[in-house]
Structure 1
Amino acid sequence: MAERPADDRVLPATRWVAVAIVPFLVVAAFLLFAFPERTGELFAWAIAVPMSAFLLASAYVGGIWFFVGVARARRWHHVTHGFPAVVVFAGALLVATLLHLDRFSQNLSFAVWMALYLTTPFVVAVLAVVQRPRDPRVPDAGDVVIPRRWRFGLAAIGAAALAFGALVFLAPEFAMTFWAWPLTPLTAQVTGAVLSLTGVVNAGLLWDARWSAFRTLFQAQLLSLVAIAVSLVARRDDLLWDRPMTLGFVVLVAGALLVYAVFTLRSEALARRAAASIPLA
């Protein structure tokens, strides 16, 4: 079998899958943000505490940015590190769904939810495998090399988020005793899935130093963090301030927002400087 060329091409199938996913994310984010008290009627299941709805919606906001980026990407390596994160996130939500089928509403939203999560983890995984050899593993012209201290620091932050998310997902009843707002076993596992995203994305920094490979992903993560921060303010009455985790979570979100903003703005400034230094043909 002939080897696939490392031409950095985004295949049409990959673009079309991204285009197909975006509308569902847009609708879900809108319903969760606009009607958190009516999730049992309008969404796939009744989410008792709006902050849990807002957290999931915040993840979808980042997903919208990412999949629009996939649809528009000129090169595969610009989005490659997001695909494993989508597989883990969507796979975790599928497992959570199958474990808690009795909690879901028998409506159109649930049918769409099941169709998406029964297919998305596997379709995205196949696309990632098929596309992977197309990454030539070279930087763009005028690309920026991410310094090792940033790469390992952000990877460590991601690893902590992934480990904590795994704990919340695997021990939801335990998470319910300390989390910053009231959870059910289902919303605890959804929360764990959301926390996994940054961990899987940031792991790619351990072997890939190209800013071009992370620009879209960090923009998406930054957008999600902004949405989470706004959600914490908007739904502050949902928070259990007598629990130490609550203040800790707020501080961690604020700190992550600052770190991600500084890193992203710094990298973008360096990339613009590098692009300006390329001589015109």
Structure 2
Amino acid sequence: MTRVVAVVILPFLAVAAFLLFVFPTRTGELFAWPIDPPLSAYLLASAYLGGIWFFVRVATTTRWHRVKHGFPAVVVFAGALGVATLLHLDRFSENISSATWMVLYATTPIAVAVLAVVQRHEDPRLPEPVDVAIPRPARIALALIGAAALCTGIGMFVLPTVAIDVWAWPLTPLTARVTGCVLSLTGVVNAALVWDARWSAFRVLFQAQVLSLVAIAASLVAGRGDLLADRPLTGLFVGLIAGALLAYGGLVVWGELRLRVLTRRREYSLGG
């Protein structure tokens, strides 16, 4: 059932990402609601791009713990988007994309939450035969970064008018809340680093995060005309994205290299 849900979700993520990246100025016509400026569309598309990789791995992995920490993040993200939809129904277009959006965000949080509960006993809570322990300092640092992102996301969702006055590019109450939802993803995922040090439990999620961060960085370049240079948060946000990309990218490279070394050692010892 988990694989079926992942396969069902994937086409919607792919279509949404395509529309938002390729036609950011036609969102009122092609997407669920008109998004302005394009940079807000790019940010949401970047989250969907990471989601595509995550659900591809959900559909193909053989071990639940490799993707389990992503499910609470999806529940929070999709659930919050569903609430934002109800708060801003007047902003949505009367088209098939809007109807699809409402059905998806009414059902996805429930379906994903049920799957997470049903599968909770499938994690042995042990490292894989060849696994890497994420260093404690790295876990603490990423958990703190995630907490900051989550708090910022909650603030933007609860107080969108405040976010509008200080954010790095122009927002509406709806896009402020959607941006807060995107920021929540990192916070919820990284919270699990407090009690789980297995690289195998975060490998897929960090790969998805790197993919999203690359897309966000490219979006900042493509949509640089939307950035408000006179706001302090603009430089801070750009710097944080660059720093996060280096941090996550470095950790992914380190984890993959370390995993390769351990795999070779195991193969050598078994062969000997």
Q: Distance in 2 between matches of 1:120 and 1:140?
A: 30
Shift of 1:148: 0.6
Q: Aligned with 1:98: secondary structure?
A: helix
CA deviations 1:175-217 (Å, max 9, x no partner) are: 0000000000000000000000000001111111100000000
User: Over residues 29-56 of structure 1, what are the superposed CA-to-partner deviations in whole Å (9 max), with x where a residue is unaligned?
Assistant: 0000000000000000000210000000
Q: Which residue of 1 aligns with 2:145?
A: 157
Identity %: 68
Measured after TM superposition, the shift of residue 105 of structure 1 is 0.2
Q: Unaligned stretches of 5+ in structure 1?
A: 1-12
Aligned partner of 1:45 in structure 2 is 33
The reply to whether residue 232 of structure 1 matches residue 229 of structure 2 is no
Pair 1:148-2:148 in alignment: no
Deviation for aligned residue 1:74: 1.2
Distance 1:49 1:99 in 2: 20
1:197 is matched with 185
- Residues 136-162 of structure 1 show CA distances to partners (whole Å, capped at 9, x for unaligned) of 101111100111111111111101100
Question: What secondary structure does 1:177 align onto?
Answer: helix
Contact 1:154/1:202 (<8 A) preserved:
yes
Question: CA separation in 1, counterparts of 2:264 and 2:85?
Answer: 49
Distance in 2 of aligned mates of 1:108 and 1:179: 31
Q: What aligned pairs does 1:102-117 form with structure 2 within 5 A after superposition?
A: 102-117=90-105
Secondary structure at the aligned position of 2:165 is classed as coil
- Structure 2: 5+ residue runs without aligned partners? none
Structure 1 residue 19 corresponds to structure 2 residue 7: yes
Deviation of 1:251 after TM superposition, in Å, equals: 0.5
Deviation string 1:54-105 (CA, Å, 9 cap, x unpaired) is 0000000000000001001110000000000000000010000000000000
Does the CA-based 8 Å contact 1:90-1:121 persist in structure 2?
yes
What is the match of residue 90 of structure 1?
78
**Deviation digits for residues 225-269 of structure 1 (CA, Å, limit 9, x no counterpart):** 000000000000010111111111100100100111111110111
Match of 1:66 in 2: 54
Q: Secondary structure at the match of 1:277?
A: helix
Instruction: Tell me how far apart the structure 2 counterparts of residues 210 and 248 of structure 1 sit (CA, whole Å).
Output: 31
Instruction: Find the aligned partners of 2:102 and 2:63 in 1 and give their Cα distance.
Output: 31
Match among 214, 217, 227 for residue 202 of structure 2: 214
* CA displacement at 1:280 relative to structure 2: 3.0
Task: Report how many aligned residue pairs link the two structures.
Answer: 269
Q: What amino acid is aligned across from residue 270 of structure 2 in structure 1?
A: L
| TM-score calculated relative to the size of structure 1 | 0.95
Which residue of 2 is the match for residue 268 of structure 1?
A: 256
Which residue identity lines up with residue 18 of structure 2 in the other structure?
F
| Residue 119 of structure 2: aligned partner | 131
2:167 alignment counterpart: 179
Find the aligned partners of 1:89 and 1:221 in 2 and give their Cα distance. 14
**Partners in 2 of 1:187 and 1:160 — Cα distance?**
19
1: CA distance between counterparts of 2:207 and 2:36?
30
Distance 1:202 1:232 in 2: 24
TM-score, length basis structure 2? 0.98
Give the distance between the partners of 1:280 and 1:85, measured in 2 at CA. 39
Structure with the larger helix share = 2
- Check the 8 A contact 1:141/1:275 in 2, yes or no: no
Deviation readout 1:87-132 (Å, 9 max, x if unpaired): 0000010000000000000100011101100000000000000001
